[in-house]
Each structure stands twice: as structure tokens, then as C-alpha cells.
Structure 1
Amino acid sequence: MKRQLVVVCIALTAMSTACSSSHASKTAPKTAVPELASATAAVQVIVSGLQLDLQQLGHDPGDVSGRFDARTKIALEKFQRDATVPSAESGLLGPATASALEARLPGASEVVRALQSALTDVGVFKGTINGRYGADTLNAVKAVQRKAGLVADGYIGPETAAAFLRLYAQKVPEPTPSGPVTTEPDATGALLKLGSTGADVTRLQQRLRLLGYRPGSNDGTYQAATAGAVLAFQKSEGLARDGTAGPSVQAALASPHGAGPRSGLAVPRIEVDIARQIAFVVLADQSVTILNISSGNGETYKVPGGGTDVADTPVGSFTVERKIQGDEKAPLGTLHSPLYFYKGWAVHGSASVPAYPASHGCVRVSNVDADWLFPLVPVRTAVVLYDTTGRSPGPKGLPSNAAGGF
């Protein structure tokens, strides 16, 4: 079945290069997309989704790194040839390619899911983040275009791509880190970051896993899971939060000093340290896994249908009251495999787990971490949240208009 699909054109050289739509003039120049940290991270999640889709269909894009590199391009082009996608879309993700992916995948498309999540973050997508492209996703893209004063045709070309990244940076700002940003090379002369490969990355992954983090496979490729684990480690150690492994990270890995989970609490449990934006998963065998999280940002926001709520995450001792596997539609977005611990507040998966509090009150973890966590946490498992800054209220101190949300 043919559908009108957005053209998400992923540049072939780097994450910050331009997009061009397949319906644009072949001679039109490509326009550079501005370097925006949080927005670029969102694009990396979208590319990771494409890589996951290709892997499921037996087209090897290499590791899920979030970088549209040569191997990913080759895998995409092979898929397009096998699916008889028009040559005009070769190496790009356009409408025919999206239709072919959706028709062949056994489940939801991860690239569409990531796109929907990014559109949710900027407040223009109100549908279910289900990985199925439809009119609601198309209308969200048009909303971005209208906000930028562009023709609302639903296609992402150079101007729309740049407008989206500006809007994302505005709606999901990257706060100034409390410490110096890691920009120095490591001992080998290269900063380890998304897309880095080699023995140094393997050693980094092995060390993170030994310390209780989830860096993905020990395969020597700095993928999205590796960046998330590094980000959690940086939060735990009080380092600048950028998801890259430079000298400060390498030194701290050799001798970490960040506090672990608190003693004397129920086992098993999920323990959320709001001040540091990490969670400890303590299982019955006393093993501890540390996850990157993003909690409520404390801001007042408008809710669908009118009125306002406050994006607070409550502190205190709770238990998992109910759990839902898969995607659940909520008024503000879609919660992936949510573990509800207090009214509408939940620990749930999301495609967007930045370095700072960004949710409407829930505790976000990555979708991959949510899938890992879900079967390990039965109903009535303890959930403990605390905030050493003292800024997060308990249930009785929540504003009357506070509510859990995406």
C-alpha cells in the first residue's frame, strides 16, 4: 500500500552534513545542518534506528553506532536494490525506502520510532510512537515546517532539516556542564566517541562492563550503548557529561570514586539518584547495574486539552504497581515497557535520554535498557528515588498540578 511518507535524507559524510529531498532539483546545493549537540544526538538515534532495521532484514550495516558511515550506506543501497527501490533514493532514506522497510520488517520500524520520538520531544507529534508511519507523523513534520515559515509539504529537505535541528535545540536545550567539557585526546592520541573503533574501544567496553555499566557488545565499536554507558559513568563520577571518553574518563575508569547504591534498602530494587541522573538496578543476587536516566525537568508545561502540569519526579520509597510490555500511548508521548511505581509515574524506555533532566516527570532509560530491565523486575519490586540537592518533592509535596508523563 502506497503512503505519503516524509523523506528523511541522511547525509553520507557526517552527522552534521546536509539533507536533500528526493523531490528537489538534482542541481540544488546541499545545505549544511548546524552543529547542535542535543539535536545531533537525536539524529544519531535516528541513524541507529536505520541500522537496527537493516540488521533485522539481514543487511549488515556494521555495529549500531549512530553514524551513517560507508558500511551503513552499502547495506542500505543493497537493501534498496533488493527491494527495487527507485535509484533516485539510492543511499538515502526516502518514501519508497520507508515503505519497503515497513512492508518487510516483522515489527515496528526503529528508524520511524526514533523519528517519532524526536518529533515528540519538540512538541509536534502527539500520536503513538509505534514505528509505523502514518498521517500523524506526516502532520508533525508539517508542523515543524509551519513553525519555520516554510511550505508545509511534509518533505524534509535542507531547509526543513535545519529548521528541525534549530527547533530541537530550542525545545531540548543542552545545559552548560558544571565542569570542563572533555575535548582532549586519550593516551593513544584519539578521543573515543561514537564511531570510534579498535582495541582501545574494546578495553573501554570491558572496563565499563566490569564496573556494572551496559556498554553493548565488547566488539571494539563505540556504539550508542557505549556512549550511554560512558554518559552514566560521567554522571556517577561527577565529570562533564558528553558521552565521550577522553583523558578524564580514562583516568576515572582506572580508579572510580563515585558512590554506589545505598545500603540497607530492599533487594531487589530500582534505585534512582536524581541528582546524578543515574539508576542502580540491584537484583536478588546482589549484582548492581548502573543505567543512564533522565528525570523530570521541574518546568511547567501545557497539557493536551488545556491546563498545565509540573514536570516533577517524586522522591520516596515505592513499589512497581503494574508493568506493561511494549509501547503504551500516554497523553504526552509513548512509554516503552513502562514500570509504574506511583500513579502515572513510571520508569520507561525512550529514544531520548539526554545528559540532564528532560522528562515530564517519569524516569527515562534507553529502549534497550528498558527491554533488558522489564523481565528482571516483577510487580512489587521496590523503587527508591532520592535527590541529594533537596529540590525534588515527595508525593505530599508535589504541586497540585504535577503529574507523571513522558
Structure 2
Amino acid sequence: MSRRHGLVAAAVVLSIVLAGCSDVAASETSSQSPSAGGTTSAPPASTPTPTATPTANPTTAKPTTKPTVKPKPKNPHNAQYYALKVEQKLEKLGYPVGDADGDITVRGRQALCAWRETNGMPISRKGLTLDEAYSVINATAKPTPTKADGIYVNKTCQVLYQVVNKQYKRIVWISTGAPGYDTPNRTGKVWRKYAGAHESSLYEDAYMYDSLYFLKDRPGIALHGSRVNSLIKPYPASHRCVRVLRPQIHQIFADTPIGTTVSVYGKYLYS
């Protein structure tokens, strides 16, 4: 009898264990399969899929790269280009520069000095500025002089202007009196002309060519050519006279009658 009760109890325990395994399996699946105990388990509750909630003000993503900035256009020409163009134009207009090679030397600065004066700018032998380069390059002719016909010697620029018929007929290099022999700033009139070569009455072996004397109270002072053009320096170097290049002095001599006004002015600034 006791053995029978033991078998019945074992059967009951086994059925509970089997039913418990079936419940676990049913809860882990969505199928409605019958349990070992003969009952149908309810399907598990489905989990709702979450939906995205739009934000009221979406944030715009900032660009990770900086916008391309176009570089400023560069001037395609260098200083030598403008210097060469200026030299060529000055020479064409009658302002002597020497060698037109893009290198503005002391002779080129004399031409620039004359350009400034004839165009009403401050007179100086300074170098070329970009504004002046444009001014020279765009010029088509020398300006009309504001001075009467005559000869004008500018000691600052070390140039001579010959004005004939209200036009600049010539602009040439000159060399005035050196320190201690300064050419006086005066206005006179040509009172004597001496054609060809002759020796100075003041300095031995100093030859003068096509001389134009213009100060009666200083009879030894004249415009004249020299034995060689190398004596016409780009700075004051004479003994008070005004040295002029040859053959320019010969041409000036021919175009200058007695009584022509000669004016000397300015001051050479040594630097």
C-alpha cells in the first residue's frame, strides 16, 4: 500500500515539473500551443514600437569646412616693368633719362625731377612712385609751359629748359657751379655770344664751346659746352658757369638771339 502511494506522489511531482517547463516555454514564444496540462496559454502582450518625436526647432548642422575666400588680384607687373615704361615714355616726350633699361639711375631721376616741375608737382630728385608711373605712362605730350620764351636753369634738377614759341623745345642735362663756386640765382639776358671753342679767361686750359654770356656784372659766367661731355656731371661741378652737353649747346646757341632771358634758380640738395 505504501509503495502505491509513493508511485502516485512521484507521478504528481513529475506532472507539476512538466507543466512548469511548458509555462516558461509558452511565455517565451508568441505561438498559442497547448500546454502539457491541456490548457491554452494567452499570447504575450505585444510591445509597442516607439515613434520619434519631432523637435520644434531642428538644429542645422554647422559646416565642417570654411568657405573658400578668393585671393585679391595681384599686380601682374613688378617695379622694373613700370620703371622701364616710364623711362621709355620720358625719353619719347623729350626728358632725357640715359639708358632706358628699367633701372632708374641718377640721370633718370633728373628726368623725373624735370617731369615734376613741368607738370606743377613738388620739385625733387626722389625715386619713382606708382602714381607718378601712371601719370607718365598715360601722358601724350609735354605740358605747355607757363613761362615766357627763354632759357631756364634749374639747379635742383640740374636741367635746362629752352622755351621757344611757348613750347618746351629742349630739356637737357647741365652741371652748375660746385660748392665754393656756386652759380648765382639770377635772371639776366644774353649780351654776348662766342661761337666755337675758346679758352676761359679765368681758368687756364679750360675750353668753352658756343658760349652764351648772360650777366653783364659777372662777365665770366656763361652757358657753354665743355671739351668732353663727361665733365657735365649729374651734380654741380663747374666753376660758376653752366656746363651744357654737346651738341645740345650748339643747337641752343643757334636758337638763342641776343637779349634772350636766362634765369637760374633752385638749390641742389646733397644726399
* TM-score normalised to structure 1 length: 0.35
Map 1:151-300 → 2, pairs under 5 A? 186-187=80-81, 204-205=87-88, 207-214=89-96, 230-236=108-114, 237=116, 238-240=124-126, 253-254=136-137, 263=146, 265-267=147-149, 269-299=150-180
CA deviation profile, 1:321-371 (whole Å, cap 9, x unmatched): 111222121143111211111211111123122221111101111112112
Is contact 1:323–1:339 with CA below 8 Å preserved after alignment? Answer: yes
1:371 counterpart (227, 247, 250): 250
Aligned-pair CA distance for 1:210:
4.6
Q: Is the 8 A contact 1:261 1:271 kept in 2?
A: no
State the AA in 1 paired with 2:93.
L
Higher helix proportion (structure 1 or 2): 1
Q: Aligned match of 2:192 in 322, 341, 346?
A: 322
1:202-255 CA-to-partner distances (Å, cap 9, x unmatched) read x844x2255333579xxxx759xxx897353133243458xxx99898556326
Compare CA radii of gyration and give the structure with the larger one: 2
For 2:248, what is the secondary structure of its paired residue? helix
The residue aligned with 2:259 is: 380
Aligned-pair CA distance for 1:283 = 0.5
State the match for 2:238 in structure 1: 359
Alpha-carbon distance in structure 1 between the residues aligned to 2:106 and 2:194:
24
Matched with 2:211 is: 338
Which letter does structure 1 place at the counterpart of 2:113?
Answer: K
Aligned residue for 2:80, secondary structure, equals coil
Residue 185 of structure 1: how far off its partner (Å): 6.3
- Identical counterparts, % of pairs: 27
Structure 1 unmatched runs, 5+: 1-183, 193-199, 300-310, 391-406
Equivalenced residues, count:
171
User: What is the TM-score of this pair, normalised by structure 2?
Assistant: 0.51
The alpha-carbon distance between structure 1 residues 239 and 334, as it changes in their structure 2 partners (threshold 3 A), is same
Return 5+ residue gaps in structure 2 as ranges: 1-77, 117-123
1:97-153 deviation digits (Å, cap 9, x = unpaired): xxxxxxxxxxxxxxxxxxxxxxxxxxxxxxxxxxxxxxxxxxxxxxxxxxxxxxxxx
Structure 2 counterpart of 1:374, which letter? Answer: F
**Quick check: which one's strand share is greater?**
2
Check conservation: 2:145, 2:163, Cα contact below 8 A.
no
**CA distance in 2 between partners of 1:378 and 1:261 (Å):** 22
